[in-house]
A = this chain, B = another copy of it.
Amino acid sequence: MGVDSKAIASMKVLPPYLIFLGDAPDRLIAKTGAGIADWAPERCAGQLRLSAGTVDLGLPDMTIEAARAAGVKTLVVGTASPGGAMDDRWLDVFRAALEAGLDIAAGLHIRLNSLGALRALADATGCKLTDLRDPPPGLPIGSGLPRSGHRVLTVGTDCAVGKKYTALALWRALCERGVDADFCATGQTGVLISGRGFAIDSVIGDFMSGAAEVLAPAAGADHWDVIEGQGSLFHPAYAGVSLGLLHGAQPEAVVLCHQAGRDKIAFFDGYPTPALETAIARNLEAARLTSPDCYCAGVSLNTAGLDAAAAEALIAETAARLGLPVIDPVRTGGGAIADRLLQGRGEA
């Protein structure tokens, strides 16, 4: 089926986690850690902070020693960057973790595996260094072959509009309904939330749709994979990734994600976000290459910038206009779209 079992086997990150926060002053800088604490608190044994000013994610503070005693398996770097070069204090923490028998997982630009002394210590202690920006070796090209199981993919009008949160909310709602469902991560925070996967935007072009086939492989007839989307077909830099993921995901349904009020692609002058209707039509047109009956199961609006009344009104108005379930993954959860997915195409 074009799915490489070795590739799947190599992409796990073992809980429980100790979330390393460095000196990150707020949740934005520590957004990977915050995402894990929000969406997978059961995977988090504690947090390790380097200074009094470091953000508190509400997890127990824990030293490496205490983490070892508590059965922690992996030190997870929960902040984006140690600055330009690797901070010496970070390296001390990493060495202590390896000496305590912990794996380390990070999505840093600088690769853990490129640091010779760290790599040698990991070999000596039998620990694993996982660089989440490096896909596993041996990814196949896409096969395009039909595969079993149900899959839904979140797609967007832009980057950073809520595709991951929407997928997580749908996954939660499906689980609450007694459905056998997985969240399939395609970015580093998502990988740490689910404990499995890799960043699909780091995959070489020729292997993108094959990577999506690996991330959401054939499954049981009643199983649902809720796949985290990336980028946007309307993004001048990243649309190729979005299309490769869309074709490889082979989704039965897509859910369109949009940030209320965002009328331009962020950081790209001259690129408006598409109308929701246009975005739905173009995503379905593309998806139907590999999934001929793909339909849109709903719209997810990130209404964080609106007050409750305005958000509620926008959600209702959008649902009426499009004739589709509309959610906000944080305000409403994913129930309305989960119900639609479980009804199938839901056509009259």
A-to-B contact residues, CB < 8 Å = 141-146, 200-206, 208-210, 234, 236-245, 247, 268-271, 282, 285-286, 289-290
* Complex: A3 Cα to B151 Cα, angstroms: 38
* Complex: A239 Cα to B248 Cα, angstroms: 10
Find A204's partner among B205, B237, B270 (CB 8 Å cutoff).
B205
User: Chain B residue with minimal CB distance to A230?
Assistant: B205
User: Chain B residue with minimal CB distance to A236?
Assistant: B144
A234-B289, A289-B234 known; A240-B208 Cβ under 8 A? yes
Number of this chain's copies in the complex: 2
Least Cβ–Cβ distance between A21 and chain B, in angstroms: 26
On chain B, the residues within 8 Å of A201 by CB distance are 204-206
Least Cβ–Cβ distance between A133 and chain B, in angstroms: 10
On chain B, the residues within 8 Å of A204 by CB distance are 201-205
In the complex, are the beta carbons of A290 and B210 less than 8 A apart?
no
Find A209's partner among B203, B239, B245, B270 (CB 8 Å cutoff).
B239
On chain B, the residues within 8 Å of A242 by CB distance are 240
* Complex: A46 Cα to B270 Cα, angstroms: 50
What are 20 pairs between A and B in contact, CB < 8 Å?
A: A144-B236, A144-B237, A144-B268, A144-B271, A145-B270, A200-B205, A203-B204, A204-B204, A205-B240, A206-B238, A206-B241, A209-B236, A236-B247, A239-B244, A239-B286, A240-B240, A240-B242, A240-B244, A271-B289, A282-B285
